[in-house]
Structure 1
Amino acid sequence: MKNTTFKLAAVAVAAASALAGQAYAAGFMLTEQSVAGLGRSYAGIGVDGTDISGVYYNPATMTLHKGTTLQAGFVGIGLNLDYAGNDGTTENGREKSQAIPHGYLLHQINDSTWVGLAMTVPFGMGTEFGDDWSQADHGISAQILTFDFNPNVAWKASEKLSFGAGVSVQYASADLTKKTYLADTAKGQQMGGSALFGSSSVRSEIDADSIAWGWNVGMMWSPLENLRFGLSYRSKIKHEADGDLTIDEANLTEDSNLDKLPPQLGGPITTSSELAALLGQLGNYGQLPGSAVVSAPAWAMATVAWDVNELLSLYGTFRWTDWSSFEKLDIDSNGSTMTTIQNNWRDTYLTSIGADLRITDRWTLRGGVAYETSPIATKEYRTAIIPDADRWWFSVGSSYKISEDMIADVGFAHLHGVHERSLYGADGREVGKFRKLDAYLLGVQLQYKF
């Protein structure tokens, strides 16, 4: 019984925290599926008609485009997560820049029917701190990506009304690393907490993946020739993620009392190698199976586009994301639930406005601003892997018509985190603050009409 207790003390929270990081990464939803849209903070996306990314955002808007169009591009993302601990330590979660690709194919079958294919990365992130930074138990690194394959069809019911629908097949992959203090685990507390373990720790890494599916629908209404409204919805996608949990780098510190652990429990332990050997005998040092059910949330979006005149168009977007459905995360290993993580998230909202200015027949300039809320309802639930906060978007962009068949788009956005940005320890006390939570996005794409 004691051996089992010791095993759970070393593993349970390590696995739970690693997989909780994966769920939180899903909380960092990637809106960036269009470079033209990026340039105006995604105001009016889809109903704007300036590219074919509506295949993803609102399939009904495919009816705005004639013939066959191919579009491909990417958005590069860089992070600045400048952290200062109350103990005087500093760290920055900068990870090498990530390039998020997207691709679309749209084809008009006849005057009333369109088909399209969207290939996107709708959720993903990358952060990395030093292995020995002061809050390594909150997270060291995370690499998370999803790939979404989404065929769609659209029907033009009349000159004013269109409908669209599609199915998504989504692959998700996550690799997350953190430090776990043995005294902080639930079983470790039962065994005496820091009085026995001191600040001894292990390093945990989980690599998991999943394939799941969902659906999406949309409609577009054009009461006037120069005015368009859109409504769209994407369903929740439930991922049953399976993978490997690796526990290694056992670190025995001088403040532990494991040297007093009796022989019948595997003691005494006086070195990190002896601690690793005991953990290995108990089956919790090395590689273990790990699994969790994680859902990418449903979202709904309302958009509007108004072509004021030949030179100016104005746009708006409001998006709701159902993060309140993610209340908890159950972590399983070897067929049993090891622990439950409470998240207590709330729904999030994005509101954006933007404009396009067509300065010549070939050049279009654009800009936009947006405000997006964070899913973190209680500040103590913020993690270092993704220290989310409310954010402002500031965007600019441009399109250039290279020929009658080809258009190039560029866009840039600065996302600036505001309001509560502190990090808290297991005891609820503030341990430090992120002085900056900023992201920098730069995108390029090409559109080609056959």
Structure 2
Amino acid sequence: MNKHSLTLIIAAALAAVSASAGASGYRFGSQSVSSQGTAEANGAEAADPSTIFANPAGLSRLEGRQLQGGVTALVPHSTFNDSGSTRFTGGRTGGLTSQDDYAPEAVAAPSLYYSQKINDQWTAGFGMFVPYGTNLSYDWNWSGRYALTNIKLTAITLNPSVAFKVNERHSFGFGIDAEFMKASLGQGVDVPGSIIAAQATGTGVVLARQIAALGGNPALLGTAGDAHASVEGKDWGYGFNIGYLYQPAEGTRFGVAYRSSIKHELRGGAIWDFSTITSDQVVNRVVQAASHHVNSAALVELRTPETLSLNGYHEFNSQWAGMADLTWTRNSRMQNIDIQFLGTTSGDEVIRQQWKNTWRFALGTNYKLNENVTLRGGIAHDQAPINGVALRHAALPDADRNQLSFGANWKLSPQSSIDVAYSYLDFKDATGNYTNLCRPGLETCTGNGETTRGTWRTHMQLLGLAYNYKF
């Protein structure tokens, strides 16, 4: 096997993080608790500093100084059932054919926003939020282990912003996005399949002689298990977001918001562990040398897709308000991903991604119960960027999803209030039939050559809580 198969797989995972502000993929609407209560339909409402994320032009509507701090707990439930995963040799991968505990019980995503009115025309603000993330940990002996055993992706965005109010009808906003991304991933290495292939071609005899010459026990080749590899990468990337808010009449607003793509150069390294494939370290060292797996640096260059959102808000009367949001994401930027191997003579590796552009549509409403309590609700449909079952990988077993949300704002005093929100996300069944087009032993490409077949079923609950204070 070539030394790059793990890095190839992490490139797939890191490419998937390009799911951006309004898309599916690794993004679950945890950037604002007040927005979550309307299923993220309130981009034109501009009720608090979290408008920095949805539309920075909304800052122009905020008075004085305002602070919002929140946290959203993501509670997923996912299962996987295998339907015939195979090695590159054509035989079954073996291992566990079902998984029901590979997603964490809960993950917390914090957010922090601040706004300050400078004068009648200018307002400044700052946002900090988690744009996306994932944390999957399959059993190391599951049937899809040659594609993935674990992945953890964390990202955080710092978003200083400013808004300019032209007059009562027109406002513009602009923000800088500084985004930190870090990912780690693990993968099984198909040593048993490689040995089977070597024995079939006659090269297994040479391997056995090398082991015997070094004092090892070549008979253990027949019982060798998987090796394992892990990799990490991290980077800062920079972009911008702009927004426009139009108010034709009091209580009616329309917004347009754009968030740019961000270029990332994720640098890290791969670590390969062959120490447990047998009980004989001589055998392990010889097998690793034959596989050409060595620790090495890696670089993955990617560019996240931009998003464009159109939204509206209208107050029907003193109690009821309606809102809508339509967001387009240019996921088609994510085609094949090139992986560079720094400090080696190996060429780039390629993984098939081929994402498609997606749409997200949300409808929401506010109901003012009394002077202190406002109730919220919303529904949304979110398309997944995955372009068919043959391109659905275990690192991102995503599918189209529907969202139902409820929320409320409760004023504790003239200066302070709390927001609460609950969302239920239901995903379509996600069938995968992903084949790594490379196989062990080839020098021109990298991969375990496995095919992971099965169906993922997922639903998720989001619980949000935020505190707001006006100075």
State whether TM-score is above 0.5. Answer: yes
**Are residues 419 and 218 of structure 1, via their aligned partners in 2, closer, same or farther at CA, if it must alter by over 3 Å?**
same
**Aligned residues of 1:26 and 1:124 also touching (Cα < 8 A):** no
Q: CA deviation at 1:309?
A: 0.9
Residue correspondence of structure 1 range 323-362 to structure 2 within 5 A: 323-335=331-343, 336-362=346-372
Q: CA deviation at 1:190?
A: 10
Residue correspondence of structure 1 range 24-423 to structure 2 within 5 A: 24-27=16-19, 28-45=26-43, 47-86=44-83, 89-92=97-100, 93-181=102-190, 201-249=226-274, 252=277, 273-278=281-286, 281=289, 285=293, 287-335=295-343, 336-423=346-433
Distance 2:434 2:331 in 1: 22
Distance 1:272 1:235 in 2: 53
- Residue 3 of structure 2 aligns to a residue in which SS? helix
Distance 2:452 2:5 in 1: 21
**Aligned residues of 1:424 and 1:432 also touching (Cα < 8 A):** no
- Residue 4 of structure 2 aligns to a residue in which SS? helix
Distance 1:109 1:86 in 2: 61
**Aligned residues of 1:30 and 1:121 also touching (Cα < 8 A):** no
**Aligned residues of 2:340 and 2:347 also touching (Cα < 8 A):** yes
Q: Which amino acid aligns with 2:231?
A: I
**Are residues 158 and 34 of structure 1, via their aligned partners in 2, closer, same or farther at CA, if it must alter by over 3 Å?**
same
**Are residues 111 and 12 of structure 1, via their aligned partners in 2, closer, same or farther at CA, if it must alter by over 3 Å?**
same
**Are residues 101 and 85 of structure 1, via their aligned partners in 2, closer, same or farther at CA, if it must alter by over 3 Å?**
same
State yes or no: 1:431 paired with 2:429: no
More moved, 190-199 vs 213-222: 190-199
More moved, 213-222 vs 197-206: 197-206
Q: CA deviation at 1:276?
A: 3.2
Q: CA deviation at 1:79?
A: 1.7
**Aligned residues of 1:18 and 1:205 also touching (Cα < 8 A):** no
Q: CA deviation at 1:182?
A: 5.1
- Residue 44 of structure 1 aligns to a residue in which SS? coil
Q: CA RMSD in A?
A: 2.6
**Aligned residues of 1:384 and 1:423 also touching (Cα < 8 A):** no
State yes or no: 1:449 paired with 2:470: yes
**Aligned residues of 1:123 and 1:146 also touching (Cα < 8 A):** yes
Q: Which amino acid aligns with 2:453?
A: V
Q: Structure 2: where are the runs of 5+ without partners?
A: 20-25, 85-95, 205-220, 437-448
- Residue 11 of structure 1 aligns to a residue in which SS? coil
Q: CA deviation at 1:378?
A: 2.3
- Residue 421 of structure 1 aligns to a residue in which SS? strand
**Are residues 232 and 283 of structure 1, via their aligned partners in 2, closer, same or farther at CA, if it must alter by over 3 Å?**
same
State yes or no: 1:18 paired with 2:10: yes
Distance 1:323 1:77 in 2: 24
Tell me how many residue pairs correspond in the alignment.
Answer: 421
**Aligned residues of 1:308 and 1:314 also touching (Cα < 8 A):** yes
1:108-163 CA distance string (max 9 Å, x none) = 00000011111111121111111111111221111111111111111001110000
Q: Structure 1: where are the runs of 5+ without partners?
A: 1-8, 253-269
Q: TM-score, normalised by structure 1?
A: 0.87
- Residue 374 of structure 1 aligns to a residue in which SS? coil
Q: Which amino acid aligns with 2:6?
A: A
Name 1:258's counterpart in structure 2. none
**Aligned residues of 1:19 and 1:176 also touching (Cα < 8 A):** no
Distance 2:451 2:349 in 1: 23
Name 2:209's counterpart in structure 1. none
**Are residues 420 and 281 of structure 1, via their aligned partners in 2, closer, same or farther at CA, if it must alter by over 3 Å?**
closer
**Aligned residues of 1:350 and 1:373 also touching (Cα < 8 A):** yes
Structure having the larger proportion of residues in strand: 1
Q: TM-score, normalised by structure 2?
A: 0.83
Identity level (%): 25
1:281-340 CA distance string (max 9 Å, x none) = 579556321111122221111111111111111010111111100101111223443411
Distance 2:160 2:239 in 1: 11
**Aligned residues of 1:201 and 1:250 also touching (Cα < 8 A):** no
**Are residues 288 and 108 of structure 1, via their aligned partners in 2, closer, same or farther at CA, if it must alter by over 3 Å?**
same
**Are residues 358 and 194 of structure 1, via their aligned partners in 2, closer, same or farther at CA, if it must alter by over 3 Å?**
farther
